[in-house]
Amino acid sequence: MRIDKELESILKRVEKPARYIGGEVNMIRKNPDDVSVRIGFAFPDTYEIAMSYMGMQILYNILNNNDRIYCERVFAPASDMEKIMREKGRKLYSLETFTPIDQLDILGFTLQYEMSYTNILNMLDLGGIPVKRLDRIGGNYPLIIAGGPCAFNPEPLADFFDAFLIGDGEETLEKLCIAFADAKSESLDREAILDKISGIDGVYIPEYYQIEYGENHEILKVNRLNDCGPETVTRAIVKDIENAVFPVNSIVPFIDTVHDRAVVETFRGCTRGCRFCQAGMIYRPVRERTPETIEKLAMEQLANTGHEELSLLSLSTSDYSQFEPMATGLMGLCRKQNVSLSLPSLRLDSISFRVLEEIQGYRKTGLTFAPEAGTQRLRDVINKNITEEDILTASRKAVELGWEHIKLYFMIGLPTETYEDLDGIADIARKIMDINYEVRGKRGGRFRVTVSVSNFVPKPHTPFQWEAQNSPEEFIEKHKYLSPKLRIKGVTFNYHETATSNLEAVFARGDRRCGSILEKAWELGCRFDGWTEHFKPELWKKAFECCASEAGFISGEEMAHFYNFRERSADEILPWDIINPFVEKEYFLSERSKAIKSETTNDCRDGCTGCGVNKYTNCFVNCK
């Protein structure tokens, strides 16, 4: 397929036209007439962000290895490109064949962050596809599906999608595509197709369920409308990651992307049990690749892409059971090829520093610590099993070894937080600067500390899923409180936008009624809400006001309070209770109780904590 003259003319008028042309190194080319099903992998953000997502490369590779499937890419156009496309009547298209997305069989979105949701509706509309599921019935439209971490609460998007894939997608998505292809060959209608795919692990069909709400706005009952819909949908899981397919022929972008490097996933899951962290719960248990497999994948990917940097992907790189020999082995191989090795998400203990020191020519520009909370009491509440002594000892080691910059990540608005906990943030930053002066003398060199503060967003399937979020006024007051305390020479203070954090929480824990807010905000012009320069809080406020009465609320403010600023009761039916993440609700309640008492829970590696995962799949640790 070639770019036509009109598209060529359009591309001359937009920023970064390489976002829209495809044809990169390692892009898969197939004849659409030779396949049974065509699926568009849709990432609801720009090319630079989408191409940095390793999950897309994995699924793209797996699906295209099947001769019956052609997986193509579809990304959100930037505002300049969208404007011209609408003016010219051009539909959103795939990068592989420039096919309008309404001509594909399946369109699958990845849900990586809630602030991309308006882009989903915009992409559907730009592709000539009705955004509402009910408006597509009877028409010749693609099956619209979604997966990713945000799919663990699919309800805010239930009105827009035909199906959701919950959990690991490597096996599930291929099965769904083949089931669709078989149904297509049998000329089955949409309802029969949904029935056919509903038996696949992790598939949730929202129209199989009807939600009843009580006078207090809470969910009263969930009614099953179709026997094909299970009582709860159990997440799909790839149990054997060692032998799972991983791409070594990743697509190489034409332009700089957020993460322009080779990437190998060392393991999936986490054992730490931080109570605020959704990923640490929904990706259990830990599943590792062997060092030999990691090395093989890394070297093949570097050879096939020409990247000059290799990064290891996991939730906590240094928690890999054979971290030191694996990392040092990779260092030697990378050094021979003049490739730099990036080791993100390190737990900065003696082993990690020893590994970092062994990286020849390692640029000692910056290290990142994530204490998350300023006091030990609050770190115990969130089960962040790291002490102030750990932080300061690691900081001293970093200063002694020549590092010039330490980044500290904290959250504010955590459950039980007090202003003493905020004082602790400034105290840690000041103590690290004092260590630098102690080691390097009064002038301290060019050393600096950056304190970045994000706002706590309660997430589904965590011990804090019932907690109230701070109001905008509370977050702003805490930012104002911290600012003067962090006016320390050599310290930079950054904090996250408050309105987006509150909105993220609405859609993280919302129900189906939130879909009307999303649709109204999109109609009013909201796009790229995760980008500060595009976010329009006044339009979102208007969307809440427009939708409140229809949902039974007095005002948009009351609606926002219901979803964000109230503590939910333990016996309340939660919108995401339909999803079974393997970790049991009773475990979350137990962890919540321990949090209130500032009691910690040990790392799974030090003994089973009874979360319930081992009932569904064997943990690599010794679970009871």
- Summarize pLDDT for 230-279 with one digit per residue, the tens: 999 999 999 999 999 999 999 999 999 988 899 999 999 999 999 999 99
User: Is the confidence at residue 375, as pLDDT, over 60?
Assistant: yes
Q: Is the pLDDT of residue 575 over 80?
A: yes
Cα gap 211→218, rounded to integer Å: 10
Residue 367: predicted pLDDT: 83
Is residue 402 scored above 90 in pLDDT?
no
At 355 the pLDDT is 84
327-346 mean pLDDT: 89
Q: Provide the pLDDT confidence category of residue 622 given band limits of 50, 70 and 90.
A: very low
Could you tell me which of 144, 162, 171 has the C-alpha nearest to residue 59?
Answer: 171
Q: How far apart are CA 342 and CA 402, in angstroms?
A: 18
User: What size, in residues, is the chain?
Assistant: 624
> What whole-number distance in Å separates Cα of residue 391 and Cα of residue 427?
12
Retrieve residue 94's tokens. 């795939």
Distance, CA of 311 to CA of 321 (rounded, Å): 18
Residues 6+ apart with CB under 8 A from 467: 415, 458, 567, 568
Lowest mean pLDDT among 32-36, 319-323, 455-459, 475-479: 319-323
Residue 568 has pLDDT above 80, yes or no: yes
pLDDT 10s digits, 121-146: 999 999 999 999 999 999 999 999 99
Q: Quick one: tokens of 448?
A: 């600096």
Q: What's the CA gap between 342 and 122, in Å, rounded? A: 36
Mean pLDDT, range 518-542, rounded to an integer: 97
- Residue 57's alpha-carbon distances to 28, 151, 288, 301, 360, in angstroms, are 11, 19, 19, 12, 30
Token pair listed for 212: 């009843």
Host H or E run for residue 335: helix 323-336
Question: Rounded to an integer, what distance in angstroms lies between the CA atom of residue 440 and that of residue 434?
Answer: 10
Q: Are strands 448-455 and 262-265 parallel, antiparallel or unpaired?
A: unpaired
Q: Can you tell me the distance from the alpha carbon of 437 to that of 445, in angstroms, rounded to the nearest whole number?
A: 8
According to the model, what pLDDT value does residue 259 have? 86
The pLDDT score that the predictor gives to residue 20 is 98
pLDDT confidence of residue 617: 84
H or E segment to which residue 602 belongs: none
Burial zone of 613 (CB within 10 Å; 0-12 exposed, 13-18 middle, 19+ buried): buried
Given a contact cutoff of 8 angstroms between Cβ atoms, the answer to whether 69 and 174 are in contact is yes
The answer to whether residue 360 scores a pLDDT higher than 90 is no
Mean pLDDT for the chain overall: 94
Query: First-to-last CA distance in the chain?
Result: 56
DSSP state of 36: S
Helix H or strand E encompassing 586: helix 585-596
Instruction: Give me 605's structure tokens.
Output: 């590696």
What predicted TM-score, i.e. pTM, was given to this entire model? 0.96
pLDDT computed for residue 356 by the predictor: 79
Does residue 62 have a pLDDT over 80? yes
Q: What is the predicted pLDDT for the residue at 354?
A: 82
Omega of the bond prior to 206 within 30 degrees of 0, cis? no
Report, as an integer, the average pLDDT of 95-106: 98
Query: Domains in the chain, ordered, with CATH?
Result: 5-167+169-234 (3.40.50.280), 239-363 (3.30.750.210), 365-496 (3.30.750.200), 582-615 (no CATH)
DSSP secondary structure, 532-560, as one string: TTT--HHHHHHHHHHHHGGGT-S-HHHHH
CB 509 within 8 A of CB 464: no
For residue 123, the one-letter residue type is M
Q: How far apart are CA 245 and CA 211, in angstroms?
A: 39
Please answer whether residues 257 and 51 qualify as being in contact, where contact means their C-beta atoms are separated by less than 8 angstroms. yes
Say if residue 362's pLDDT is above 60: no
pLDDT at res. 624: 38
CB contact at 8 A, 108 and 197: no
Q: What whole-number distance in Å separates Cα of residue 207 and Cα of residue 282? A: 24
496 to 135, 476, 552: CA distances (angstroms): 38, 10, 32
Percent of the chain scored above 90 by pLDDT? 88
Give the side-chain half-sphere CA count within 13 A for 465: 29
Strand residues in 292-429 grouped as ranges (E): 309-313, 340-342, 367-372, 405-412
Q: Report the share of the chain in percent with pLDDT over 70.
A: 97
Ranges assigned E (strand) in 46-162: 69-75, 106-110, 143-147
